[in-house]
Chain A
Amino acid sequence: MYLDLLHALPHVLSLTNFLAVTIGVVAGIVVGALPGLSATMAISVLVPFTFGLEPLVALGLMAGIYNGAMYGGAIPAVLLRIPGTPAAVATTFDGYPMAQKGEGGFALQVAVVSSSIGGIASAFALMLLAPPLSKLTLLFGPAEVFWIAVFAMCSIIFMLGGNVVKGLISACFGVFVSVVGSDPIFGNDRYTFGYLELLDGINIVILLVGLYALPPVLDLLESPLKTDTANENLGTEPIWRTLPRMMRFWKTWLRGSLIGIWIGILPGAGGSMAAFMSYNEARRASKTPESWGHGEPEGVAAAEVANNADTASALIPALTLGIPGTSVAAVMLGGLLIHGLQPGPMLFRENPDIVFGFMWQFLFGAILLLFLGGSLATNSFAKLLKLPRPLLGSVIIVLMVIGVYSIHGRMFDVYLMLGFGAVGYVMDKLKFPLPPVVLGLILGAFAEENLRLSLRIGRGDWGILFANHTSQVLVALTIAVVFGPSLKRRYWDNRKSGAQG
């Protein structure tokens, strides 16, 4: 199966495909650097435009953007203490103090080298782990897939942190949206109100664009950004002189990569969680924890290596099981689907050149990041952050409308997208988490379809859901995810009160 990996290489090295990755990385860095614009949003705006492209070109763009944006977020985090993406929050802790000390250039170099290393590690994880996992997926029939969907939904609701009730409400909204259209077995119309446009259900891209792209743009327009950079001088030195100074971070890089890869595979958690965990672990292991938070370059390294290490690994469950690990992976799944690439074991068999090519693109994206990111981390680039917000916002809204219109060539979808945008805006303001909505839409449909299929196979006997070991393990995991956090809290509280008494 690893032979297919080599077969795919020539396709990736063709000029257009390589160009796509390069453009993607640059665009990703820019998007990531602009606060309010995230990789999820950039890719969801892009997806409808990729219809006419070759699948590999489209996927290369996405892989590039994902890698680029995860680093791009570090630029304003270091220079302005404004994380460009949610995943760059941990980068501000030490990055900004470094910039104040006039070491902004070095901070960005640490960020770009760490990001690149994290991305490379993640790409290798995807290449090595996905093919064997895809073989395993033949074990998963309808009953097992149903449990996977339930497990993924529970883990995102209960592990996302924050308010569980709000997470549940978000997920229920997503599941409700998944019900619209003809039912998966008999084709009865549900909530279509006679519109043929709704018969196929609501296209995931419409929901994604509305939910993820519109609210941040409105946010952008609401709050004109004050750009009073503390220190205009970055103090950039040539990278070959700074590189040897970074070699002492190798332990942090290794640890951060592993954490990022692991978090990426878990559904629900994302780049920001990986960055926080890696930062905490690195500080705990450090000999000089007191210098952290006051401009310790290793802190930047820890955060940046981890938030790039979850990029490709988030696609492992997405490609093999159709379960996205992060919201970016969810958007990419939408991108795969519109090119007729159904995730699952068949994907590896039917389109090996595309799947394995996609993995190579992740690797090249990460390597390119080193060169492109390094040369962009300059004073002139920092000025881009001062683009007028209204201009930026309106351009993105126009792109969104064109993109959604081009999915089926009808205004109906645009109105639907704007409607979801309004819902998303309100949810955002009320602090309802958005990822459960997307997963609710994807997994709700998945769960329903497979539950009903397995009941048909079992001829109405619910016992079929628990009939084999794969199902039983998944049920146990689901129970652990649902009750684990509250049991752990109770256990901790007991121990604390025990210590006091």
Chain B
Amino acid sequence: MARTVGQFLGDALGGASVVVKNEPGAGGQIGFTDVATAKPDGYTLGTFNLPAALALTYDRPAAYTADSFTYLANFVEDPNTVVVSKSSPYDTLAALMADAKANPEAVTMGLASLGGNDHFAALMMGQASGAFTLVPFKGAALARTALIGGHVAAGTMTLSQTVGFEDQLKVLAVLAKDRSSFAPNVPTAKELGYDIEMSSLRGIVAPAGLDPAVSAKLLAALAAVNANAEFQKKMAEQGNPMNYIAGDAFATVAKAQSEVAKGIWETTPWK
């Protein structure tokens, strides 16, 4: 996402050059820390993914908190889903949840790593029925392979991670407010009687303490990027479900996500 936004942001800022620097490592913590501690002059921006970026501030020492950033704009919101293998006996969310309720911890649920949206989604599902036995794989691809091979009974992953596997997977529900345009036939959990929403958000942030004039300029440029039809087309090609949330509204979402993570960490710490 960073590269696609960067590509269009330069033009939106009137021909400025945007350099995208990869800073991989420690689940993004190295990059997040660099952005949080950079000079708030508007020349250093960073990508940000929720809830993981803020969830990790609870489970390990981090040099930033939710207040270390100026929240500019969120672009992508990829909702979590509940999936089972095509050959699974569970045909509906209700069947899966009923079994989990009758036999707590007997149903295994594959997911990609603890402390992220997959984990929180699985815990919320467990609270709504009976607890699942969580099996955190190293990445969604491995979780999906194990699910297809029948080594775990169910799984949760984001909607975009199920695309292309329609022949092997049954998506039982999507954990979002509304049905997704990527899978209009899949019901939301809410329709099925479970009020659970969880997703992975990806947006752009700057260090805290940004001059309001600078942040207004950046916000205008990011809004222009979002309005660009070519940008939207590119993001759709890459399989990104979009949800543009700008400025204060994004900050509110981030704070709320941070509180969700905090609440989960306090009641069911994962390490």
Contact = CB atoms under 8 A, between A and B. Distances in A.
B25 A346 contact: no
Contacts of B113: 187
B137 A453 contact: yes
A197 B30 CA distance: 8
Interface stretch (A91-99, A139-147, A265-273, A355-363): A139-147
A197 B114 contact: no
Contacts of A430: none
B133 A457 contact: yes
Contacts of A185: 114, 136
A408 B271 CA distance: 28
Given A140-B149, A346-B144, A453 B133 contact: no
B146 A142 contact: yes
Contacts of B133: 456-457, 459
Nearest to B105: A459
Interface in A106-157: 138-142
Contacts of B60: 187, 189
A141 B149 contact: yes
B271 A187 contact: yes
Contacts of B76: none
B139 interface: yes
Interface string B79-94: 0000000000000000
A350 interface: yes
A105 interface: no
B4 interface: no
A344 B25 CA distance: 23
B106 to A, nearest CB: 8
Interface centre among B24, B27, B136, B151 (most CB of A within 10 A): B151
A138 B108 contact: no
A200 B142 contact: no
A281 B148 CA distance: 44
A235 interface: no
Interface in B128-187: 133-139, 141-142, 144-146, 148-152, 164
B59 interface: yes
Interface in B1-41: 24-27, 29-30, 33
Interface in B56-77: 59-60
A88 to B, nearest CB: 39
A456 B137 CA distance: 11
Interface in A161-217: 182, 184-189, 196-197, 199-200
A342 interface: yes
Contacts of B203: none
Interface centre among B30, B59, B270 (most CB of A within 10 A): B30
A449 interface: yes
A316 to B, nearest CB: 18
B207 interface: no
A345 interface: yes
A350 B113 CA distance: 21
A152 B14 CA distance: 57
A199 B26 contact: yes
A342 B138 CA distance: 11
Given A139-B149, A350-B164, A199 B142 contact: no
Contacts of B114: 185-187
Given A139-B149, A456-B134, A196 B139 contact: no
Nearest to A407: B24
A200 B26 contact: yes
B29 A199 contact: yes
Nearest to B139: A342
Given A456-B133, A456-B134, A408 B115 contact: no
Interface string A429-459: 0000000000000000000010001001101
Interface string A375-394: 00000000000000000000
B135 A453 contact: yes
Contacts of B29: 196, 199
A346 B139 CA distance: 13
B146 to A, nearest CB: 6
Contacts of A459: 105, 133
A459 B109 CA distance: 12
Contacts of B146: 141-142
B135 A457 contact: yes
A457 B151 contact: yes
Interface of A: 138-142, 182, 184-189, 196-197, 199-200, 342, 344-346, 350, 408, 449, 453, 456-457, 459
22 contacts: A138-B145, A141-B149, A141-B151, A182-B26, A187-B60, A187-B114, A187-B115, A187-B271, A196-B29, A197-B25, A197-B30, A199-B25, A199-B29, A200-B24, A200-B26, A200-B27, A342-B142, A344-B142, A345-B145, A350-B141, A453-B135, A456-B134
The 5 A-B pairs of least Cβ separation, nearest first, read: A141-B151, A186-B271, A199-B26, A138-B149, A196-B26
